[in-house]
């Protein structure tokens, strides 16, 4: 399909599939790399909307090509610093990120059957100097997918001799985070990149050990970690790129500035000062390096800390009684440890954020609900956690999708998406007394 759209395009698989640590529910993270074209964004997104039901889309963009395909179940354009198309295609989820490269960078990448770190670095350096106007340039949005791809290549190289152990440990930690409702960077929690880096570091620091031993070390170390001290994999730098790295690699003061002014708008919302401070730093081995946990704020950092501490304590408990346990008891312990408790049993109070749309408005409705999801993390800070009786809120990253079933409701029969928000009240505060007082503000 890509060759029908652009015969020179190249698809690079990143994320868990590049690391060969994918699970049945893993998304495909893909870079669609094309040679530089002044109108490539329009060529990628197009100017037409998609009517999936009628299979209508009226240009030759990649978006329309997928819209018209019979195996496409949902599709959405996601605006951001890098053009993104999200697709459910043949029952699998794909994130397609567009990267438009100058000819020299593009040629370096497409010439590789099996990309090598050195050649990817050359392509990135060429991109920086030729496309975005040098290392001081601000227009570097498409640099970050390339950097992330390079980071995953490096993680793969570092774990190639412990492939089975790395895969098992990574999948276990990811499964644990999902079941404890702390997986999803858009909600201020961990993402696959952060977990892969943290996992890789444990394996490098404790080579040739069993997976259960490494799981215990993982939680023992990170539950005691002095955040925001960076978790990073130290590498010997290539001196050829020192100047670029000095400017573009991650460093704390740059992130604090960005968080302070651009994300939390502390000048307008002074009560968000604590959230604007560095909370978690997990640096990827990219070129340039990036903080994969940028979205963690003070509240989500506290939730992460509590979950990690509880996990570590249970593993210490297991160690003390393991020799007295039967195999079935040990199996039950691990199963319960991985599964955690239901989200609806974690807190006494909850809010529900609902997004509804008519089934015939599938594409537009789903796009709007995707937008709503991206706003939940910050809106909690702006509108709910500033209530003095509330300690913090915990947004469940796992959304509930079904039909609106209340026959007396205007939205009966519409598609309904819900996100549950757990509310932790401050000690000696009664949250039941505040909702009528704050109702207008919360809504």
HEC string of the chain?
A: CHHHHCCCCEEEEEHHHHCCCCCCCCCEEEEEEEECCCCHHHHHHCCCCCECCCCECCCCCHHHHHHCCCCEEEEEEECCCCCEEEEEECCEEEEEEEEEECHHHHHHHHCCCCCCHHHHHHHHHHHHHHCCCCCCCCCCCCHHHHHHHHHHHHHHHHCHHHHHHHHHHHHHHHHHHHHCCCECHHHCCECHHHHHHHHHHHHHHCCCCCHHHHHHHHHHHHHCCCCCCCECCCCCCCHHHHHHHHHHCCCHHHHHHHHHHHHCCCCCCHHHHHHHCCCCCEECCCCCCCECCCCCCHHHHHHHHHHHHHHHHHHHHHHHHHHHCCHHHHHHHHHHHHHCCCHHHCCCEEEEEEEEECHHHHHHHHHHHHHHHHHHHHHHHHHCCCCCCEEEEEECCCCEEEECCCCCCCCCCCEEEEEEEEEEECCCCCHHHCHHHHHHHHC
Tokens of 430: 């009664």
Sheet containing strand 72-78, edge to edge, reads 10-14, 28-35, 92-101, 84-89, 72-78
Helices 327-339 and 298-321: crossing angle in degrees, nearest 10, is: 180
User: Is residue 32 exposed (0-12), middle (13-18) or buried (19+ Cβ within 10 Å)?
Assistant: buried
Cβ-proximal residues to 320 (8 Å cutoff; 6+ apart), any chain: none
Pairing outcome for strands 415-425 and 349-357: antiparallel
Closest CA to 12 of 104, 147, 127: 147
- Residue-wise burial string across 301-316, b where 16 or more C-beta atoms lie within 10 A, e elsewhere: bebbbebbeebbeebe
CA angle at 279 for the pair 353 and 148, rounded to the nearest 5°: 85
Select from 378, 373, 386 the least CA-distant residue to 438: 386
Copy the structure tokens of residue 285: 């081995």
pLDDT at 104: 81
pLDDT value for 441: 42
Per-residue model confidence (pLDDT) at position 341: 92
Contacts 24+ apart (CB under 8 A), 401-404: 404/356
Rounded Cα–Cα distance for residues 58 and 64 (Å): 7
Instruction: For residue 166, report the phi and psi dihedrals to the nearest 5 degrees.
Output: -60, -45
Name the token pair of 255.
Answer: 């992130």
Do 400 and 187 meet the contact criterion of CB atoms below 8 Å apart?
Answer: no
Task: List Cα–Cα distances, 157 to 79, 150, 166, 308, 370, in angstroms.
Answer: 32, 11, 12, 28, 35
Domains and CATH numbers, the chain: 1-159 (3.30.460.10), 161-340 (1.10.1410.10), 345-425 (3.30.70.590)
Q: Please tell me the predicted confidence (pLDDT) of residue 133.
A: 55
Q: Which residues pair with 390 in a beta bridge?
A: 425
How far apart are the C-alpha atoms of 101 and 149, rounded to whole Å? 15
Please report the pLDDT score of residue 436 as a whole number. Answer: 58
- Distance in angstroms (rounded) separating the CA atoms of residues 261 and 239: 33
What is the pLDDT, as a whole number, of residue 272?
84
Spatial separation of the C-alpha atoms in residues 374 and 79, rounded to whole Å:
11
Q: Give the C-alpha distances (Å, rounded to integers) separating 30 from 60, 85, 93, 124, 179.
A: 20, 10, 11, 17, 26
Instruction: With a cut of 70, list the residues of the chain below it in pLDDT.
Output: 37-38, 112, 131-140, 433-443
The pTM for the full model equals 0.92
pLDDT of residue 320: 86
């Amino acid at each position: 399909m890509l060759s029908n759209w652009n015969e020179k395009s190249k698809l690079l698989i990143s994320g868990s599939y590049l690391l060969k640590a994918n699970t049945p529910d893993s998304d495909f993270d893909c870079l669609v790399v094309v040679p530089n074209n002044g109108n490539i964004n329009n060529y990628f997104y197009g100017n037409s909307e998609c009517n999936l039901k009628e299979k209508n889309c009226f240009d030759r963009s990649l978006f329309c090509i997928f819209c018209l395909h019979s195996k496409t179940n949902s599709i959405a354009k996601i605006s951001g610093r890098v053009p993104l198309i999200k697709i459910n295609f043949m029952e699998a989820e794909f994130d397609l990120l567009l990267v438009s490269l100058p000819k020299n960078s593009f040629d370096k990448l497409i010439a590789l059957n099996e990309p090598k770190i050195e050649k990817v670095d050359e392509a990135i350096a060429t991109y920086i100097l030729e496309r975005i106007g040098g290392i001081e340039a601000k227009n570097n949005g498409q640099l970050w997918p390339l950097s992330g791809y390079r980071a995953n290549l490096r993680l793969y190289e570092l774990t190639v001799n412990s492939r089975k152990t790395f895969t098992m440990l990574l999948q276990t930690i990811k499964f644990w985070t999902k079941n404890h409702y702390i997986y999803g960077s858009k909600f201020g929690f961990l993402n696959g990149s952060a977990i892969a880096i943290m996992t890789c570091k444990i394996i490098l620091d404790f080579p040739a050990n069993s997976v259960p031993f490494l799981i215990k070390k993982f939680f023992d170390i990170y539950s005691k970690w002095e955040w925001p001290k960076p978790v990073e994999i130290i590498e010997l730098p290539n001196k050829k790129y020192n100047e670029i790295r000095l400017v573009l690699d991650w460093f704390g003061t740059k992130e604090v500035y960005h968080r302070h002014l651009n994300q939390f708008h502390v000048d307008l919302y002074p009560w968000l000062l604590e959230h604007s401070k560095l909370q978690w730093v997990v640096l990827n081995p990219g070129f340039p390096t990036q903080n994969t946990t940028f979205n963690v704020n003070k509240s989500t950092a506290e939730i992460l800390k509590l979950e990690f501490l509880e996990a570590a304590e249970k593993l210490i408990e297991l160690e003390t009684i393991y020799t007295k346990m039967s195999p079935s008891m040990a199996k039950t312990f691990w199963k319960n440890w991985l599964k955690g408790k239901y989200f609806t049993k974690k807190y006494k109070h909850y809010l529900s954020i609902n997004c509804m749309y008519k089934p015939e408005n599938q594409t537009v409705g789903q796009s709007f609900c995707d937008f709503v999801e991206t706003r939940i993390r910050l809106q909690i800070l702006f509108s709910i956690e500033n209530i003095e009786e509330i300690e913090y809120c915990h947004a469940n990253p796992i959304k509930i999708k079904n039909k609106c079933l209340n026959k007396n409701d205007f939205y009966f029969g519409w598609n309904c998406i819900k996100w549950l928000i757990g509310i932790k009240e401050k000690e000696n505060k009664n949250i039941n007394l505040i909702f009528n007082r704050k109702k207008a503000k919360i809504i």
